[in-house]
Structure 1
């Protein structure tokens, strides 16, 4: 049975930033297509990943994951070593690409480098933005590592992929503390006070802060919210935002046009690019890090 997915019909703001009908040979309408297709194993894999995520990602679950991972005692590695681990990861939530994640990392970084040659911090953010997915190598299933993020503790955002049906077995769906418009929040509490679903965005943001990365604040916002599509693409959670959150959104949208539209068949020469990006790692997040 095929399922209608309302969220895929929403206009992605990154289309407004990069509105060409064809991008690198691929129509922009073909990106982030979550329609079910019983004959497409990639689409079936994506759907299962999101249903597992939306079933299990409750307030209590996220707090437990934060207690576990924010001790930063799981492993020690340089940023390059962590990135190299992505050679062995294919994101099970991504309908656009079926290549190791490190390929996408360099695709993103190089496109940013082409268009922002003087903002080396931005280029490095492009390279490392998904490195929080290393949690998948330390016992975490991909459904709590990859994919779009969303706010917990209030009514599910209407533009979350696969919609309310995917949350039917989530305990927070039936908890009056969390299933109303405001849930556990005050009106206009602000983006940074929302409890986000656990995944690579929040984890890497916390890793960078813990290890005293030298990025500007807007770079950390790009990392923390780049997968928060229900907010920056769907327009959800407006009643919880405060003054200043629009500035964060604009930074995230500037990043996301490179994250989304660089997913193509072009494979960068990773080995040739490493020396340049190693110099940026040394500048902004050097040494052995606690993960």
Structure 2
């Protein structure tokens, strides 16, 4: 809450003065408003006191210099990585050459990711706890999964997580950014809980409830989806409205959505980190710019963050192996920094 916002709210006391003939309910309501105003006034006074103490310890010029320096540091994490400047993007996500396992996966995913299923999946998420464990225990458990949708790697999940996190760390990105690299795929734990297979856990994500974009991988396979011919869902906007914002859009259920909700409720990660987790598999959006007509201004800012993260998620996949036990102490400390409760409800 800013001083300006608070001052604005306390500048109209006449709106709460009891008028002749006011009922007891009106008076009670006015009393609550006056209590709120007193709290706001106290907050303003506390802010003023903090400002005075700050300015007495250093000059205004020093404060502005520090603020500008902080802004520059924040902008640094958007900078392009030198590690991958010579990499050929065409050597990744080669779905035309993908094995039958990958193609069969997407045929099943595109057929079964319906509006009805997505509504039920969200009800299930909100009404049950699947397991209680630490983030690191989740990573170790996830290590048993091989992602059928990924044409680029056969590595275990914890190896991919460490490759991504270490690449981000090498570029000296913020600590929260490094943690995103470590946990961005942790939602794949869904596979061991109440998933129907891999089709509702992994793979590229896309909106349901509106027309399926041709920029989604293997778009022809959507013809077997029951929503494909449904007049409520097969128009450009479907159940949404122009520029409604992606937070209003139901993306296909999977590890991105699942881990996004876990992190949102259990961590202190910033909005950019949450966007990276939620949208990192939304390739039609962050690589092909599909569904731009559903974006709002906030989404435009988050898109820059997601694209920055995607570089590390995609291009860090290699044959390099890390010693998990050597890296574990560093990442345990990182986890504790942003997940205050060591045991998380999954």
Q: Do they fold alike, i.e. is TM over 0.5? A: yes
| Corresponding residue to 1:245 among 295, 299, 303 | 299
Residue by residue over 1:35-64, the C-alpha shift from the partner in whole angstroms, topping out at 9 and shown as x without a partner, is 046xxxxx2111111110000000110111
Q: Greater shift after overlay, 256-265 or 72-81?
A: 72-81
Counterpart for residue 332 of structure 2: 278
The reply to whether residue 145 of structure 1 matches residue 201 of structure 2 is: yes
The reply to whether residue 132 of structure 1 matches residue 205 of structure 2 is: no
Residue by residue over 1:111-157, the C-alpha shift from the partner in whole angstroms, topping out at 9 and shown as x without a partner, is 0000025x111101100000000011114211110011001111001
Residue by residue over 1:201-245, the C-alpha shift from the partner in whole angstroms, topping out at 9 and shown as x without a partner, is 00001111222x011111111101111000111111111112221
Question: Shift in Å at residue 22 of structure 1?
Answer: 5.1
Q: Distance in 1 between matches of 2:308 and 2:118?
A: 28
Residue by residue over 1:145-172, the C-alpha shift from the partner in whole angstroms, topping out at 9 and shown as x without a partner, is 0011001111001210001x21111011
Structure 2: unaligned runs, 5 residues or longer: 1-79
The reply to whether residue 95 of structure 1 matches residue 156 of structure 2 is: no
Pick the structure with more helix per residue.
2
Secondary structure at the counterpart of residue 224 of structure 2:
coil
Counterpart for residue 58 of structure 1: 114
Q: Distance in 2 between matches of 1:184 and 1:28?
A: 35
Aligned partners of 1:159 and 1:236 also within 8 Å: yes
Q: Residues 17 and 273 (structure 1 numbering): CA distance in 2 closer, same or farther, change over 3 Å? A: closer
Structure 1: unaligned runs, 5 residues or longer: 1-15, 38-42
Question: Shift in Å at residue 87 of structure 1?
Answer: 1.4
Secondary structure at the counterpart of residue 158 of structure 1:
coil
| Corresponding residue to 2:105 among 49, 59, 72 | 49
Aligned partners of 2:84 and 2:315 also within 8 Å: no
The reply to whether residue 30 of structure 1 matches residue 84 of structure 2 is: no
Aligned partners of 1:18 and 1:257 also within 8 Å: no
Aligned partners of 2:81 and 2:171 also within 8 Å: no
Structure number with higher relative contact order (C-alpha < 8 Å, ≥ 6 residues apart): 1
Q: Distance in 2 between matches of 1:142 and 1:234?
A: 24
Aligned partners of 1:159 and 1:230 also within 8 Å: yes
Counterpart for residue 85 of structure 1: 141
Counterpart for residue 233 of structure 2: 178
Using structure 1 for the length normalisation, give the TM-score.
Answer: 0.87
Using structure 2 for the length normalisation, give the TM-score.
Answer: 0.74
Question: Shift in Å at residue 20 of structure 1?
Answer: 5.8
Aligned partners of 1:22 and 1:28 also within 8 Å: no
Structure number with larger C-alpha Rg: 2
Counterpart for residue 229 of structure 1: 283
Instruction: Quote the RMSD (CA, aligned, Å).
Output: 1.8
> Matched residue pairs, number?
266
| Corresponding residue to 1:254 among 305, 308, 321 | 308
The reply to whether residue 189 of structure 1 matches residue 244 of structure 2 is: yes
Counterpart for residue 5 of structure 1: none
Q: Distance in 1 between matches of 2:325 and 2:83?
A: 32
Q: Greater shift after overlay, 259-268 or 63-72?
A: 63-72
Secondary structure at the counterpart of residue 88 of structure 1:
coil
Residue by residue over 1:223-271, the C-alpha shift from the partner in whole angstroms, topping out at 9 and shown as x without a partner, is 0111100011111111111222110100101111000000111111111
Q: Distance in 1 between matches of 2:292 and 2:82?
A: 24
Q: Distance in 2 between matches of 1:126 and 1:17?
A: 14
